[in-house]
Chain A
Amino acid sequence: MTIEELEQIAASVQRENAAFDYEVNVCMDLACVSQGADKLKEALVKSAEASGKKVLVRRTGCMGPCSHGPLVRVDPDEALYHKVHAGHARAIVASLGGPPVAELQCDLNEHFESQVRVVLENAGYIDPVKIDDYIARDGYKALLTVLTEMTPSGVIHRVTESGLRGRGGGGYPTGLKWSTVAKAAGDMKYVVCNGDEGDPGAFMDRSVMEGDPHRVIEGMAIAAYAVGASKGFIYVRAEYPVAVSRLTTALREARRRGLLGNNVCNTPFNFDVEIRLGAGAFVCGEETALIASIEGKRGTPKPRPPYPAMSGLWGKPTLINNVETYANIAPIVRNGGRWFFNMGSERSKGTKVFALTGKIANTGLVEVPMGIKLREIIERIGGGVPAGHTFKAVQTGGPSGGCIPAEMLDIGVSYDALLKVGSIMGSGGMIVMDDTSCMVNVARFFVEFCMTESCGKCIPCRAGTAQMFTLLTRICDGTGTMDDLELLEDLCSTVKEASLCGLGQTAPNPVLSTLKYFRNEYIEHIVHKRCPAGVCTIQVPSEVTA
């Protein structure tokens, strides 16, 4: 495979597509499929055949606003239809060449306007199982450029220059991590892709793996070349069967095209990737636990140092990055580090994909430049909370993050700003809550999650989260006391400071941030025995009823 051959493939795909007058793109992501997108696609194919028009009906990855699904976009008119079902197929096909179907059209201009799509640039435009579709949109061009024109240190320099930071949550500078692994001694090195996305309400990585799997593989191959690795692993949770099957297909196709394997594209570079399935443990997203799991051991974290960059898989230097981090690599190589560096805020560069969920009009995936105000994401892109309710807080960073109240909505989204207000960027889950959410109950939910997902190795996390849950349950039930609250705060500091890995160290964040901004709700439960949001069932003390 050479650049010219890639271009030939791209040209042939474009020729094939040009034979059609219209393209009907159907979002076949999980949310849309669960609402009948698969039947819709069948119906569209049938109607198209019956009509005699030259129509290409294409399955695509997630288009974004899941709450409007199933979504259909008709090109070249770029008409976006929402809440489409199989019964609409005939009307859509009939409208081709004429005015769009008015009843299905949705006005999501505000939703898309402030988004910048880098990671999701192909979402909604390619068929995820077709490697040629990816190649037609500049796919694997970056890998070929790297292999034929750049030195490993040149690649690392470009990534460093871009200012990209790890998208898994920690925000560690990606270029620095790569250069550490590149400098580590050893002939055998590994690159690992962390696809064990487990935060409640987060589905960015799933969407990328399902909608654009080659982008992840290309990023990994470039990373492998840069650090001197010849073997890669994608660790995906088994709860993502579609992602697993799309990645499996993608790997097979990439091998067939000579983009993986020995002598990739006739260069001395050898690289292949294996998929490893996670067995449903959240803690396996922690890198040392993930390594143990790939090695076939019990998925428990180990103290660092040694860091995986020095001693990872089977004791070899190992580069571990998140799905979204790898998904940023190809565009950075293609467009240059400066291009990426110029997007975003001072210390957080590029864009970030967020999964908007909760009490918000447009739930789904959004990709925004770093530094964008939270208010803009929630009110403009997300369409605000449902009518009749008022916004209360937004939870970022999953169980490791915190709740950010309404008065802080004008902060810009960046690693540092979110940390400063007691939350974290995390992998990109964003749960919006309105006046029907009880913040004590929310804190309890996340603590319960951490309790059940704790691996049980270290005492502060194993027993500490369980006690935090007990104390929070008391408060929610109305049986808590002010002493319990004090004890809870004291316990939070021990769990935060003494736990072995990130899971325990961040488990108190939902409690600490709600205590910081919504302390009055705790007090209401304890002193006045009432839940302001009406969520918790307060138990009436027996003395009163007797």
Chain B
Amino acid sequence: MSVEADVKTLIIDEQEVSARAGQTILQVARENDIYIPTLCHLDGLSDVGACRLCLIEIKGGNKLVPACVATVQEGMEVSTDTERLRKHRRTILELLFAERNHICSVCVSNGHCELQTLAQEQGVTHVRFPYRNPNLPVDASHERFTADHNRCILCTRCVRVCAEIEGAHVWDVMGRGINSMIITDLHEDWGASSCTRCGKCVQVCPTGALFDKSKIGSDHPKYPDFLPYLNLMREAQ
């Protein structure tokens, strides 16, 4: 690191913190144990600012800003937990629950699901929106893993980990809007795709959409923490 590292000071939730120029608000908040909910963000992957759960308020601006991509500025005052933000976060989570068929009790990720955890944290007690109950496929063609589109929240972590870390780019998004779907290759069955069977997508999937077949009926915690370490080791080489 350069000796003249450009250091910024700012205020997050009335706490004075320091940061290197170019750091995101989310990084600085986490370093200082200030909690900002996230879903599409994952340490070790690029950020897309898609889930909108990490939206924060910056004093002097009316627009809400995603903390995962917004970089720190000298003297900025950030609020991460206002009533306005909590309302939007709850609504976004409700929208996700109503969008597809998220039935925790029969989900392989029950108890280890980031969506479930967030809903509990943010106080989502019920869903006000009509459930859409879409008819979605389950792709069990792969010998080791299954993709259950009913539980997918389109965070695109699998797409990014496959393209950025594994370098295979098997996953991508197909379709538009409410009809978007993650697919393997050009919408081939996962089992028939160019998948390298590394399993990284399963480990980074926040819900039970991608899971290991051998874990059905048992606890299926996921371990995405390998990513920053893997990146570090690769950089060191």
**A residues with CB within 8 A of B:** 281, 298, 302-303, 451-467, 470-471, 487, 490-491, 494, 497-500
Contact = CB atoms under 8 A, between A and B. Distances in A.
B132 interface: yes
Given A456-B175, A487-B129, A500-B52, A463 B180 contact: no
Contacts of B49: 302-303, 458, 500
Contacts of A298: 172-173
A303 B66 contact: yes
Q: Which of A470, A471, A494 has the most CB of B within 10 A?
A: A494
Given A302-B48, A454-B176, A497-B63, 4 more contacts: A460-B95, A465-B177, A466-B132, A499-B52
Contacts of A281: 176
A459 B128 CA distance: 16
29 contacts: A298-B172, A303-B69, A303-B70, A455-B177, A456-B175, A456-B176, A456-B179, A456-B180, A457-B48, A457-B50, A457-B154, A458-B49, A459-B96, A460-B92, A460-B95, A462-B177, A462-B178, A463-B98, A463-B178, A465-B178, A466-B99, A466-B177, A467-B129, A467-B130, A470-B129, A471-B130, A491-B129, A494-B87, A497-B88
Contacts of B55: 498
Given A462-B180, A467-B129, A497 B64 contact: yes
Interface of A: prevailing SS: helix
Interface residues of B, number: 34
Contact of A459 (B51, B129, B179): B51
Contacts, number: 101
Contacts of A467: 95, 98, 129-130
Given A463-B98, A494-B88, A497-B88, A452 B176 contact: yes
B91 interface: yes
B87 to A, nearest CB: 7
A202 to B, nearest CB: 20
Contacts of A463: 95-96, 98-99, 178
Contacts of A452: 176-177
Nearest to B96: A459
Contacts of A464: 91, 95
Contacts of A470: 129-130, 132
Contact of B95 (A455, A459, A471, A497): A459
Nearest to B63: A497
Interface in B152-211: 153-154, 172-173, 175-180
The 3 A-B pairs at the shortest CB distance, nearest first, are namely: A456-B180, A454-B177, A303-B49
Nearest to A281: B176
Given A460-B52, A487-B128, A500-B50, A453 B177 contact: yes
Contacts of A302: 48-49
A470 B154 CA distance: 21
Contact of B176 (A453, A460, A487): A453
A487 B66 CA distance: 25
Q: Which of B63, B129, B130 has the most CB of A within 10 A?
A: B129
Interface in B128-154: 128-130, 132, 153-154
B130 A462 contact: no
A498 B92 contact: yes
B169 to A, nearest CB: 12
B179 to A, nearest CB: 7
Q: Which of B87, B95, B96, B175 has the most CB of A within 10 A?
A: B95
A466 B98 CA distance: 10
Contacts of B95: 459-460, 463-464, 467
A458 B91 CA distance: 13
A462 B154 contact: yes
A484 B95 CA distance: 15
B52 A458 contact: yes
Contacts of B129: 467, 470, 487, 491
B95 to A, nearest CB: 4
Given A457-B48, A500-B49, A500-B52, A490 B173 contact: no
Given A458-B50, A460-B92, A494-B88, A451 B178 contact: yes
B92 A494 contact: yes
B92 A456 contact: no
A461 B98 CA distance: 14
A456 B154 contact: yes
B3 to A, nearest CB: 24
Nearest to B65: A303
Q: Which of B48, B99, B176 has the most CB of A within 10 A?
A: B176
Interface in B31-57: 48-52, 55
B41 to A, nearest CB: 12
Contacts of B99: 462-463, 466
A497 B57 CA distance: 11
Interface in B92-122: 92, 95-96, 98-99
Nearest to B69: A303
A490 B175 CA distance: 28
Nearest to B51: A459
Contacts of B52: 458-460, 498-500
Contacts of A454: 176-178
A444 to B, nearest CB: 15
Contacts of B130: 467, 470-471
Contacts of B132: 466, 470
Nearest to B100: A463
Contacts of B173: 298, 456
Contacts of A453: 176-177
Contacts of B92: 459-460, 494, 498
Contacts of B48: 302-303, 457
Contacts of A490: 91
